[in-house]
């Protein structure tokens, strides 16, 4: 061994290792699962699949529960046990066709339908008050008979009309930079909304009026209404609501049934209490499909307004939590579509539809749980009623069309479904080139949304 300049042999220096453990860190399975879920959640088609799959599952489960909850009511009316199910299935089939048509329509055509739908809704809501044409159901004059057992509730189409027309109005004013002035933000949106509310309240349907008010506030919030303006409109609506409740003994009685555990004098809280009984007797996994006891004449409107109670009794806590999870996923997907788009009409329309479905679900489920007064509104896509199902499924088609129209979603759909006779790429197989094209699409999608949402 050659020596050093001093004649001493060179010293062998030991290499110091870092203070960390010598063994490599094991991959945490929980973190790995979380990372995969986060990547899947961030994909451009997540909103598309959530809206389509969530609405499909809610509708199918609703059909099953309508069949289960309505058999006793149909037999008590000397009708076949599947009477209400067949009508709901027919409405769901027509609604599915409307959903597919709406999901394939371009945004310009949706905007072009805003004024015709609004005019048609106002005309039908006015016909409700004409003697001989309009009919009363459960004390509310808000139905039109179509002959036989078929009826239509025009106020349900008023929700869709307000969403489309309000979104088109606010989008045009935003393009002209007029929303900074409070007059342009309120007029004519608020007067037209109050006109629809007046036509609804002429029939005494305050539940639908609350949903329409929620849509109005949702549009104003998305348009960036100042706090003072927002509070002012909210104060006017709250004052009118208090007056309408105070002047109606029926509404006051419903307000007093919040949290009731006893039917009370005259069985005023009978429906609310038996809804709680149905939920309480369901347990974790329920008594079994079709085995509900409350639907045997004890629970009024078991297949319409209180179908969530029958679901809790037959499917238990697991079934009700599944329904809540589906509505939460649908609401998140609608917010995601509204937050990622650069088109103002898409943002307002997606936000309006999400507000509509979410508010109606909260009001219905809150009434069944005894947390809110019974408003008489159905659970969207779930309760029996074709008049409520048809415009709701058309609105779901709007959300699907908006989710498909995102830049990243368009690229992903084009990559997964190439045109006939067209190769996916040159110089290699589609499998080899798909990761590179997928990453490019994700970079373009993230650059197209300035909101910063992942």
Q: Contact, 137 vs 314, CB < 8 A?
A: no
* 341-355 confidence digits (pLDDT tens): 999 999 999 999 999
Range picked from 4-8, 68-72, 250-254 for highest mean pLDDT: 68-72
pTM across the whole model: 0.84
Q: What does DSSP assign to residue 428?
A: S
pLDDT band with cut points at 50, 70 and 90 for residue 19: low
Q: What does DSSP assign to residue 152?
A: E
pLDDT attached to residue 10: 57
CA atoms within 13 A on the CB side of 308: 27
Average pLDDT, integer, range 100-113:
95
pLDDT attached to residue 452: 39
pLDDT band with cut points at 50, 70 and 90 for residue 141: confident
pLDDT attached to residue 40: 74
Residue 234 clears pLDDT 50, i.e. is over it = yes
Average pLDDT, integer, range 181-192:
90
Residue 286 clears pLDDT 50, i.e. is over it = yes
Which among 236, 156, 221, 160 has a CA at the least distance from the CA of 191? 236
Least confident of 24-33, 97-106, 206-215, 327-336: 24-33
How far apart (Å, rounded) are the C-alpha atoms in residues 393 and 407? 24
Q: What percent of the chain has pLDDT over 90?
A: 60
Average pLDDT, integer, range 221-244:
87
Write phi, then psi, for 183 (nearest 5 degrees): -65, -45
């Amino acid at each position: 061994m050659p020596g050093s300049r001093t004649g001493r042999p060179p010293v062998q220096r030991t290499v110091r290792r870092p203070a960390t453990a010598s063994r490599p860190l094991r991959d945490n399975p929980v973190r790995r699962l979380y990372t995969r879920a986060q990547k899947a959640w961030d994909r451009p088609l997540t909103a598309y699949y959530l809206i389509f799959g969530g609405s499909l599952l809610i509708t199918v489960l609703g059909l099953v529960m309508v069949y289960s909850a309505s058999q006793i009511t149909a037999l008590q009316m000397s009708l076949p046990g599947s009477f209400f199910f067949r009508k709901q299935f027919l409405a769901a089939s027509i609604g599915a066709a409307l959903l597919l048509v709406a999901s394939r329509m371009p945004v310009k055509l949706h905007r072009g339908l805003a004024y015709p739908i609004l005019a048609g809704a106002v005309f039908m809501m006015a016909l409700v008050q004409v003697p001989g044409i309009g009919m009363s159901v459960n004390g509310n004059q808000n139905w039109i008979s179509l002959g036989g057992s078929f009826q239509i509730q025009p106020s349900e189409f008023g929700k869709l009309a307000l969403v489309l027309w309000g979104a088109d109005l606010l989008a045009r004013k935003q393009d002209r930079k007029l929303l900074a002035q409070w007059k342009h933000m309120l007029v004519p949106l608020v007067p037209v909304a109050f006109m629809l509310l007046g036509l609804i309240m002429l029939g005494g349907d305050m539940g639908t009026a609350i949903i329409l008010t929620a849509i109005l506030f949702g549009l104003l919030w998305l348009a960036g209404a100042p706090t003072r303006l927002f509070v002012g409109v909210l104060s006017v609506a709250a004052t009118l609501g208090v007056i309408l409740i105070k002047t109606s003994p029926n509404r006051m009685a419903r307000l007093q049934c919040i949290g009731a555990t006893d039917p009370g004098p005259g069985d005023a809280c009978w429906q609310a209490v038996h809804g709680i009984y149905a939920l309480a007797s369901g347990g974790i996994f329920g008594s079994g499909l079709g085995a509900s006891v409350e639907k045997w004449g004890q629970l009024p409107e078991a297949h319409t307004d209180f179908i969530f109670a029958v679901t809790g009794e037959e499917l238990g806590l697991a079934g009700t939590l599944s329904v809540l999870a589906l509505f939460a996923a649908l609401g998140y997907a609608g917010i995601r579509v509204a937050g990622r788009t650069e088109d103002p009409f898409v943002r307002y329309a997606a936000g309006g539809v999400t507000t509509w479905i979410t508010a109606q679900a909260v009001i219905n489920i809150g009434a069944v749980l005894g947390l809110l007064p019974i408003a008489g509104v159905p659970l969207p896509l779930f309760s029996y009623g074709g008049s409520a199902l048809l415009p709701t499924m058309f609105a779901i088609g709007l959300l699907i069309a908006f989710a498909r129209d995102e830049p990243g979603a368009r690229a992903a759909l084009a990559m997964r479904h190439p045109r006939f006779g067209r190769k996916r790429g040159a110089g290699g197989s589609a499998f080899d080139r798909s990761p590179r094209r997928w990453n490019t699409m994700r970079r373009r999608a993230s650059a197209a949304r300035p909101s910063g949402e992942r």
